[in-house]
């Protein structure tokens, strides 16, 4: 009798939740502003049969940057924190790191000195901590880290720092038969182990930077080994190239947050037919971070000017989003 009651109660809750969600309409974590209206209007235009702007499902390609667009990126890119944790873990086997920059800065906790190392320092850390193992071994290391690591400032798992409005947008687009892709400057094999569980984006729909990988036979088994050499940087001009190589179709929707995404948005909008380019503008210093033109992480300067000049949609985080993270 009790089980029947709980089953009935659960059914009623599910039905009520579904009715409430339907009544609320799409994108409930978004305020009813111009940004939300622009997204819904675009989706309706390209998905309603008979519309002059109708796009067949096979051509409904939507691409998203990851850092700063789908999850937070301050005060350092989250993959940078992964590399830092890896340096600390591996340091016992590398006594020379105690006096070598940028490893010394990591071990001494000198984030200011680490930041001054720039892209060169980041590449050094990536090569030292992401290579010398098989692809399966690396995927396991990343998966373990994602499940246990916490953001040093917010003391929350990194995967809880995804943006609830963007999760809703991904679901909304997929419900309208869009295919959603990540196109990020981050490491492709750093993202692939967890993007499906977090975003609903499978590994084959992730485009990112990569290091050289080679085939080997180890103990009679074929493996792919990661080498300490840069293969491809999926940032700025590299993003349209990566889209062309991995996807093979020009997107009709592109969403970024920084100057590193500018060329991806330009290339998307250069195609024929109705298209949508969007930028997340980080304006909420209370619920997240506020930054743009002067930031050393996720700088939004040239892309912001071009968005305003060409009428692209700029999503104001403070004003356009009811909530930032899931559950908050």
User: Domain containing 59 — which CATH number?
Assistant: 3.40.50.1000
Q: Would residue 95 count as lying in a domain?
A: no
Q: Would residue 172 count as lying in a domain?
A: yes
Quote the radius of gyration of the chain (alpha carbons, Å): 21
Average pLDDT of the segment spanning 319-325: 98
* Token pair listed for 230: 């840069």
Q: Would residue 47 count as lying in a domain?
A: yes
Q: Would residue 264 count as lying in a domain?
A: yes
Domain tally, the chain: 1
- Say if CB 168 and CB 39 are below 8 A apart: no
For 277-301, write each residue's pLDDT tens digit: 999 999 999 999 999 999 989 999 9
For 155-201, write each residue's pLDDT tens digit: 999 999 999 999 999 999 999 999 999 999 999 999 999 999 999 99
Instruction: For residue 217, give its domain range.
Output: 28-74+160-320
pLDDT of residue 229 exceeding 80: yes
Q: Would residue 258 count as lying in a domain?
A: yes
Q: Would you state the pLDDT for residue 215?
A: 98
Q: Would residue 263 count as lying in a domain?
A: yes
* Token pair listed for 238: 């590299």
Q: Would you state the pLDDT for residue 16?
A: 42
Q: Would residue 3 count as lying in a domain?
A: no
For residue 114, CA distances in Å to 107, 125, 298 come to: 10, 10, 17
Q: Would residue 103 count as lying in a domain?
A: no
For 112-158, write each residue's pLDDT tens digit: 888 777 667 878 899 999 999 999 999 999 999 999 999 999 999 99
pTM of the model: 0.91
């Amino acid at each position: 009798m009790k089980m029947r009651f709980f089953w009935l109660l659960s059914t009623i809750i599910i039905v009520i939740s579904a009715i409430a969600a339907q009544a609320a309409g799409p994108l409930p974590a978004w305020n009813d502003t111009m940004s939300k209206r622009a997204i819904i209007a675009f989706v309706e235009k390209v998905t309603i049969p008979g519309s002059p702007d109708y796009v067949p499902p096979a051509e409904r390609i939507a691409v998203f940057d990851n850092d700063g667009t789908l999850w937070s990126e301050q005060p350092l890119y989250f993959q940078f924190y992964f590399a830092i944790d890896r340096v600390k873990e591996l340091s016992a086997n590398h006594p020379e790191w105690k006096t070598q920059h940028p490893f010394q800065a990591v071990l001494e906790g000198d984030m200011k000195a680490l930041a001054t190392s720039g892209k060169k320092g980041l590449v050094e850390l990536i090569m030292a901590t992401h290579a010398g193992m098989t692809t399966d071994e690396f995927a396991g290391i990343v998966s373990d880290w994602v499940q246990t690591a916490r953001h040093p400032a917010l003391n929350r798992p990194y995967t809880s720092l995804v943006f609830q409005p963007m999760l809703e947008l991904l679901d909304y687009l997929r419900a309208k038969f869009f295919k959603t892709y990540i196109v990020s400057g981050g490491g492709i094999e750093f993202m692939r182990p967890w993007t499906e569980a977090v975003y609903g984006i499978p590994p084959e729909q992730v485009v990112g930077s990569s290091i050289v990988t080679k085939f080997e036979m180890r103990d009679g088994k074929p493996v792919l080994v990661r080498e300490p050499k840069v293969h491809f940087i999926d940032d700025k001009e590299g993003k349209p190239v990566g889209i062309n190589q991995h996807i093979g179709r020009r997107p009709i929707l592109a969403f970024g947050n920084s100057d590193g995404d500018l060329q991806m948005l330009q290339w998307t909008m250069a195609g024929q037919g109705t298209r949508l380019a969007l930028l997340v503008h980080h304006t909420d210093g209370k619920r997240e971070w506020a930054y743009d033109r002067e930031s050393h992480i996720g700088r939004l300067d040239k892309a912001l000017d071009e968005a305003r000049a060409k009428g692209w949609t700029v999503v104001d985080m403070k004003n356009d989003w009811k909530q930032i993270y899931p559950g908050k």
